Structure 1
Amino acid sequence: MQVNSRLAKAVRFALVTGAAATALSSPVVFAADDESADSVERIQVTGSRIKRTDMEGSSPVTTITAADMEKSGDMSIADVLRSSNLNTFGSDAESSGSSWQSQANISLRGAGADRTLVLLNGKRMPGSPTMGGTAVNLNTIPTAAIERIEVLSDGASAVYGSDAVAGVVNIITKKDYEGLEVSASGSLPEQDGGEEWKTHIVGGTSSDKGSMTFSFEHQSREIIYQADRWFSSSTNLGASDLLDTTGLSTYARNFRDLDTGTFSPMAACDNEDMAEGGKIYSYKDGYACGYDYTAEAADHAGRDYTAGYISGNYELTDEIMFEGQGLFSRNETFGRYAPAAGYFTVGAGQVEILTPDGNGGFTSGLNEKAGRAYYRFTDVGTRDSTTIDYSTDIQIGLVGEHDDFGWDVTYHYNLAENSNYGTGYVHRPTVEALVESGEFNFGPEGNSDEVIAAISHDTLAQDTMDFQSLNAGINFEALELPAGLVGWYIGTEFSQYKYSSKYDKESTNDEVIGSAGGGAEGDRDVFAIFAESIIPVTDDLELNLAFRFDDYSDFGTATTPKVALRYQVHDDVVLRASWGQGFRAPALSDLYSPDSFSADDATDYHYCEINGTSTSDCREEQYDVTRTSNENLQPETSDFYNLGAIWNITDNFSTKVEYYNLSIDDVITFISLDSLLREEQKVGYGNTAGEIVRAGDNADGALIEATTPLVNGNGFDTTGIDFNLTYTGYETSFGDFGSSFDLTYVLSFEDEEYFDGPVNDMVGRNGLPEYRFTWVIDWSYGDHTASLLTQYIDGQAEDTDPDTYENVGSLESQTTFDFSYTYMTNWNGKFSLGVRNITNEDPVLDSYLTYDEALYNLYGRTYTASYTQKF
Structure 2
Amino acid sequence: MRANSVLAKAIRFALIGGATTAALSTSVAIAAEDGAKVERIEVTGSRIKRTDLEGSSPVTTIDASQIEKTGELSITDVLRRSNLNSFGSFSERSGSSAQSQATINLRGAGSDRTLVLLNGKRMPGSPTLGGTAVNLNTIPTAAIERVEVLTDGASAVYGSDAVAGVVNIILKQGYEGLEVSATATQPTQDGGEEWKAHIVGGTVGEKGNVTFSFEHLNREIIYQRDRWFSSSTNVLAPKFDDTTGVSIYARNFLDMTTGGFQPLTACNNPKMVGGGHIYDAGSGDYVCGYDYTSEAADHAARSYTAGYVNGEYELSDEITFKGQGLFARNETFGRYAPAAGWFNVAPGQVDVQNYDAAGNMTGVNKNQNAGRVYYRFTDVGTRDANTIDYSTDIQLGLVGSHDSFGWDVTYHYNLAENSNYGTGYVHRPTVEKYVKDGIFNFGPEGNSASVIADMAHQTLKQDIMEFQSLNAGVNFEAIELPAGNIGWYVGAEALQYKYEANVDAQTAAGDVIGSSGNGSSGDRDVYAVFAESIIPVTEDLELNLAYRYDKYSDFGSATTPKVALRYQVIDGVVFRASWGQGFRAPSLSDLLAADAFSADTATDYHYCDVQGTPVAECKAKQYDVTRKANKELDPETSDFYNLGLVWDITDNLSTKVEYYNLKIDDVITFVSLDSLLKEEQKVGYGNLSRGEIVRAGNTADGKLLAATTPKANGNGFETSGIDFNITYSGFETAIGEFGTSYDLTYVLNYDEEEYFDGPVNDKIGRNGMPQIRFTWAIDWTYGEHSASIISQYIDSQAERTDPKTYQQIGHLTSQTTFDLSYAYNTSWNGKIGLGIRNLTNEDPVLNSDLEYDSSLYNLYGRTYTMTYTQKF
Question: Matches of 1:791 and 1:670 in 2, distance apart?
Answer: 33
Distance 1:604 1:12, change over 3 A: closer
* CA apart distance, 1:55: 1.4
Q: How many angstroms apart in 2 are the aligned matches of 1:646 and 1:636?
A: 32
CA change 1:8–1:591 in 2 (3 A) is closer
Alignment of 1:476-555 (within 5 A): 476-555=476-555
Q: How far apart, CA to CA, are the structure 2 residues paired with 1:22 and 1:806?
A: 33
Partners of 1:708 and 1:30 lie apart in 2 by 58
Amino acid at match of 2:257: D
Give the whole-Å Cα distance in 2 for the aligned partners of 1:145 and 1:182. Answer: 12
User: For residues 54 and 451 of structure 1, what CA distance do their matches in structure 2 show?
Assistant: 72
Which amino acid counterpart does residue 268 of structure 1 have in structure 2? A
Mapping of residues 697-708 of structure 1, within 5 Å: 697-708=698-709
Paired residue for 2:344? 345
Q: CA–CA distance in 1 between the matches of 2:566 and 2:26?
A: 18
**Distance in 2, Cα, partners of 1:153 & 1:249:** 43
Amino acid at match of 1:697: N
Question: Which residue number corresponds to residue 157 of structure 2?
Answer: 159
Give secondary structure in 2 for the equivalent of 1:507.
helix
Contact in 2 for aligned 1:20/1:64 (Cα 8 Å): yes
1:245-260 matches, within 5 Å, as 245-260=243-258
Task: Give the 5 Å matches for 1:21-170.
Answer: 22=23, 24=25, 36=35, 39-170=37-168
Distance 2:362 2:239 in 1: 16
| RMSD, aligned CA | 1.5
Query: Which residue does 1:745 correspond to in 2?
Result: 746
Q: CA deviation at 1:2?
A: 1.8
Distance in 2 of aligned mates of 1:826 and 1:687: 76
**Does the 8 Å contact 1:29/1:56 carry over to 2?**
no
Change (3 A) 1:767 1:8: closer
Q: Secondary structure at the match of 1:610?
A: helix
- In the alignment, residue 467 of structure 1 is paired with which amino acid? F
Flag the 1:126–1:269 CA change in 2: closer, same or farther, 3 A: same
- CA offset at residue 671 of structure 1? 1.0
Q: Distance in 2 between matches of 1:235 and 1:244?
A: 9
| 2: CA distance, partners of 1:719 / 1:6 | 32
Quote the offset at 1:284 in angstroms: 2.4
* Residue equivalent to 1:227: 225
* SS of equivalent to 2:379: helix
For residues 524 and 627 of structure 2, the distance between their equivalents in structure 1, rounded to whole angstroms, comes to 23
Closer, same or farther in 2 for the Cα pair 1:23/1:723, shift >3 Å?
Answer: farther
Verify: 1:722 aligned to 2:739, yes or no. no
Taking the TM superposition and a 5 Å limit, the aligned residue runs for 1:556-567 are: 556-567=556-567
Q: Contact between 1:64 and 1:148, CA under 8 Å: does it hold in 2?
A: yes
Answer yes or no: is the 8 Å Cα contact 1:10–1:27 preserved in 2: no
Distance 1:119 1:406 in 2: 22
Between stretches 434-443 and 548-557, larger displacement belongs to: 434-443
CA distance in 2, matches of 1:359, 1:54: 76
1:375-429 CA distance string (max 9 Å, x none): 0000000000000000000000000000000000000000000000000000011
Aligned CA distance change for structure 1 residues 82 and 493 (closer, same or farther; 3 Å): same
Quick one: distance in 2 between partners of 1:448 and 1:201? 53
> In the alignment, is residue 846 of structure 1 matched against residue 844 of structure 2?
no
Query: 1:632-651 counterparts in 2 under 5 A?
Result: 632-651=632-651
- Secondary structure of the equivalent of 1:576? strand
Q: Does 1:2 align with 2:1?
A: no
Instruction: String of CA shifts for 1:222-252, please: whole Å, max 9, x gaps.
Output: 0000000000011111211111111111110
Q: Kindly report which structure 2 residues correspond to 1:260-339, keeping only aligned pairs within 5 A, or say none.
A: 260-285=258-283, 286-339=285-338
Structure 2 equivalent of residue 464 of structure 1: 464
Change (3 A) 1:253 1:105: same
Bigger drift between 355-364 and 165-174 goes to: 355-364
- The letter of the residue matching 1:189 is P
Distance 1:558 1:26 in 2: 41
Q: Distance in 2 between matches of 1:639 and 1:843?
A: 35
CA contact (8 A) 1:247 1:292 kept: yes
Alignment check: 8 A CA contact 2:772 2:795 kept: yes
- Distance in 1, matches of 2:491 and 2:508, equals 43
Q: Matched residue of 1:87: which SS? A: coil
Residue aligning to 2:827: 826
Give structure 1 stretches of 5+ with no counterpart: none
Q: Say whether the 8 Å CA contact 1:19–1:68 is kept in structure 2.
A: no
SS at match of 1:682: helix
Q: What is the CA distance between 1:25 and its match in structure 2?
A: 9.0
Q: Secondary structure at the match of 1:39?
A: coil
The secondary structure found in structure 1 opposite 2:77 is: helix
2:571 aligned partner, one-letter code: D
> One-letter code of the match for 1:458?
Q
Following TM superposition, by how much is the alpha carbon of 1:21 offset from its aligned partner in structure 2, in angstroms? 5.7
Match of residue 188 from structure 1: 186
Q: Could you tell me how far apart the structure 2 residues matched to 1:825 and 1:414 are?
A: 41
Superposed displacement of residue 121, structure 1: 0.3
2:443 matched residue in structure 1? 443
CA contact (8 A) 1:743 1:773 kept: yes
> What amino acid does structure 2 have at the position aligned with 1:690?
G
Corresponding residue number in structure 1 for 2:395: 395
Amino acid at match of 1:6: A
Amino acid in the other structure paired with 1:3: S
Over the matched positions of the two proteins, sequence identity in percent amounts to 69
Deviations 1:497-523 (Å, cap 9, x if unpaired)?
A: 000000000011111000001100000
Report how far residue 4 of structure 1 moved: 3.2
Range that drifts further, 642-651 or 258-267: 258-267
Shift of the alpha carbon at 1:40? 2.2
Equivalents in 1 of 2:26, 2:106: separation in Å?
A: 16
The aligned amino acid for 2:858 is N
**For residue 652 of structure 1, what is the amino acid of its counterpart?**
N
8 Å Cα contact 1:217/1:306 also seen in 2: yes
Matched, 1:665 2:665: yes
Question: Structure 1 residues 236-245 or 737-746, which shifts more?
Answer: 236-245
Work out whether residues 792 and 816 of structure 2, in 8 Å CA contact, stay in contact via their aligned partners in 1: yes
**1:616 aligns to what SS in structure 2?**
helix
After TM superposition, give the deviation of residue 3 of structure 1 in Å: 2.2
Q: Point out the more displaced range, 823-832 or 272-281.
A: 272-281
Q: Give the superposition deviation at 1:360.
A: 2.1
How far apart are 1:619 and its partner, in Å?
1.1
Give the aligned residue type for 2:710: P
| CA distance in 1: counterparts of 2:27 and 2:827, whole angstroms | 30
Separation (CA, whole Å) in 1 of partners of 2:13 and 2:844: 39
- Deviation of 1:361 after TM superposition, in Å, equals 2.8
Alpha-carbon distance in 2 for matches of 1:142, 1:311: 13
Aligned: 1:580 with 2:564: no
Residue type of the alignment partner of 1:755: F
- Conservation of the 8 A alpha-carbon contact between 2:15 and 2:654: no
1:434-478 CA distance string (max 9 Å, x none): 111111111222111111000100000000000000010000000
Q: Which amino acid aligns with 1:728?
A: S
Task: Work out the CA distance in 2 between the residues paired with 1:803 and 1:325.
Answer: 56
Give, in whole Å, the separation in 2 of the partners of 1:671 and 1:450: 43
- Find 1:199's aligned residue among 197, 200, 225: 197
Q: Distance in 1 between matches of 2:29 and 2:810?
A: 42
Q: Deviations over 1:814-865 (max 9, x none)?
A: 0000000000001000000000000000000000100111000000000000
Structure 1 match to 2:654: 654
Shift of 1:12: 6.4
CA contact under 8 A between 2:156 and 2:580: conserved in structure 1?
Answer: yes
Give the superposition deviation at 1:362. Answer: 4.1
How many pairs does the alignment contain?
Answer: 867
Q: Is the 8 A contact 2:12 2:54 kept in 1?
A: no
What is the rounded CA distance, in whole Å, between the counterparts of 1:725 and 1:13 in structure 2?
A: 9
